[in-house]
Copies of this chain bind each other. A is one copy, B any other.
Amino acid sequence: MKRLVRTKKDLGNSIREIRLERDMTQKELANLSGIWQETISKIETGTANPRMGTISLLLSALDLEFVLTPRSKSSLKDWEKIFTNGL
């Protein structure tokens, strides 16, 4: 399943999903990545606005990477997302 990441909310949701798929706790991911559990919590909930360096550590710990691609068309138009919270 393809995980698109455009916003910090997307990022947090994806990281949480993947972490859980692997039966990992935030503490375990924290140990692996060198990022604090508290920080991971804030990133996953979308509270934080993490730096690229922090994101890199998490990607590395989860053995993930970004692939930069042209945006796929969304089923929702941008103006519709204003109402559905999809953006």
Interface of A toward B, CB cutoff 8 Å = 2-8, 11, 14, 18, 49-53, 55-56, 59-60, 63-72
Asked if A67 and B2 make an inter-chain contact with CB atoms under 8 angstroms apart, the answer reads yes
Count copies of this chain in the complex.
Answer: 2
* 24 A-B residue pairs with CB within 8 Å: A2-B67, A3-B68, A4-B66, A4-B67, A4-B68, A5-B65, A5-B68, A6-B60, A6-B66, A8-B53, A8-B56, A11-B52, A14-B68, A18-B68, A49-B51, A49-B53, A50-B51, A52-B52, A52-B55, A63-B71, A65-B68, A65-B69, A65-B70, A66-B66
Further pairs besides A8-B53, A65-B71: 16, Cβ < 8 Å:
A3-B67, A4-B67, A5-B68, A6-B65, A8-B52, A51-B51, A52-B52, A63-B70, A64-B68, A64-B70, A65-B69, A65-B70, A66-B67, A66-B68, A67-B67, A67-B69
